Amino acid sequence: MRLFKLVLSVLLLLSLAGCGSKIELDKLTFVFGLYIDAGEEPGTVELTISAPLPNRLLSSTQPNPGDGKSYSMVSKTASTVADAFALIQRDLPRRLEISHIKVVVLGKEYARQGIDESLEWFKRQPEFPLGTYIMTASGKAKAAAQLSALFEQTPDQVLMNFSKENLLFATTVRDCALAEASNMGYAMNLLSLKHRTDPLEPGKSMHWAGLQGLALFHKAKLSGTLNIYESRAFAWAAGHLAGSFYLPEYSVTWDDNGQGSASALFLSNKASLHTRFTEDGPVFYLKLKGSASIINYHDSLGRGAENLSPFIVQKLQKAVVKEVSQAVRATQEAGADVLQLGMQVEWNNPGEWKRLKERWEDYYSHDAQIKVSADIKIQDIGSVK
């Protein structure tokens, strides 16, 4: 018994030993955002990191916050992203840690040149989380790192929430890598960067970011864009490829023996895709389904919403189908199979895919038949007198 207690005591003491490879938190710089732009010199890339300053994050919770921002930015230019990251590390007294990164933003010019080198670097970093959200800026990506975070502590959190809250797409680095491996297209949120008057300090301008639409990618290059209305409809159509699209809203008007308007908030929305193979090739049937609540209604003749409900449904279905069809045509013009219809062909008819695989890009752009329909139900018409 005494020997057993001695062995147990030794084992317990051994479990108290520390990790020989540990690094103290105060020796690390946690990178929350990566911003990648084309360098001024041809063939170069400018990498900017955004990292929080713990001392200022703490002081910002006090009644008298310290002066200055709660985060810091460092930029370096090199021939590759990896080299630029190494240059940033060389000038910092702390080790860079990217395991807690929140967002990656690509500059528009850099995205046009191609992002394959960045995707490869992300995949080769074991600590880099592939679930990191990725998006494109309408101008310089570095400008997005300077936005004023009114409701968050750092700009990275604001940008991350654009995707996390499913305002349009929720594209991750993993989504891009998988699409590239399958030779399919993909889309990501396109940021609009502007200057606005600071509501807290009149006369002072502030950096502001919002969603401008979607950026379409094919073969790791920016090949086209969608405006905000087309993007809203396409996010619905893309279903799981876009994430869970949150509460889309549509408005319709009419002038049929009386002027009127109605706005509908969709409480549920989903899309289904069916492929039928014909002698002329595959035909894709994209069907949108949703249930809506009427949140605004007006009719000049005083007719109730319940009486015009079938008419409103018809108008809503027509509006949704029109916007989705326009968005799909835009992806075809860009040659970006964002809905990954090629994979549908491969899964359902490998023989047909073998015939179309080598010329799928051209086939999708010019010959693919995509028929869009909608099935919308009004769940409630709101309160009435």
Rounded to an integer, what distance in angstroms lies between the CA atom of residue 116 and that of residue 140?
18
What's the gap between Cα 6 and its chain centre? 58
Contacts of 116 (CB under 8 A, 6+ apart): 180, 220
The encoded tokens of residue 103 equal 């967002």
How far is it, in rounded angstroms, from Cα 263 to Cα 265?
Answer: 7
Q: What is the DSSP string of 151-214?
A: SSSSHHHHHHHHHHTTSS---BHHHHHHHHHTT--EEEEEEEEEEEE-SSSTT-EEEEEEEEEE
How would you class 147 by CB atoms within 10 Å of its CB: exposed for 0-12, middle for 13-18, buried for 19 or more? buried
Sign of the Cα pseudo-torsion (12, 13, 19, 24, in order):
positive
Q: Return the pLDDT at 367.
A: 92
For residue 101, which of 124, 76, 131 has the smallest C-alpha distance?
131
Q: How far apart are CA 178 and CA 173, in angstroms?
A: 9
Confidence at residue 66, expressed as pLDDT on a 0 to 100 scale: 41
pTM for the full predicted model? 0.84
Ordered by start, the domain boundaries in the chain are 27-239, 247-385
Per-residue pLDDT tens, the chain, 385 aa: give them.
Answer: 677 667 677 667 666 655 554 555 556 777 888 999 999 899 899 999 888 776 555 544 444 444 456 678 889 999 999 999 999 888 877 788 888 899 999 999 999 999 999 999 999 998 899 999 999 999 899 888 877 766 666 788 888 888 888 778 999 999 999 999 988 999 999 998 776 666 666 666 667 778 889 999 999 999 999 998 899 889 989 887 777 777 788 889 888 777 889 888 888 888 999 999 998 889 999 999 989 899 888 888 888 888 888 888 999 999 999 999 999 999 999 999 999 999 999 999 999 999 999 999 999 999 999 999 999 998 887 655 4
What local confidence, expressed as pLDDT, does residue 151 receive?
Answer: 65
The pLDDT value recorded for residue 203 is 62
Residue 265 CB neighbours (<10 A): 15
Q: Do the strands 33-38 and 103-106 form a parallel or antiparallel pair, or are they unpaired?
A: parallel
Any residues with CB less than 8 A from the CB of 126 and at least 6 apart, and which? none
Q: Are 286 and 341 in contact (CB under 8 A)?
A: no
Q: Going by CATH, does the domain composed of 247-385 fall within 3.30.300.210?
A: yes
Residue 65: the pLDDT is 42
**CA-based nearest residue to 47, from 100, 121, 99:** 121
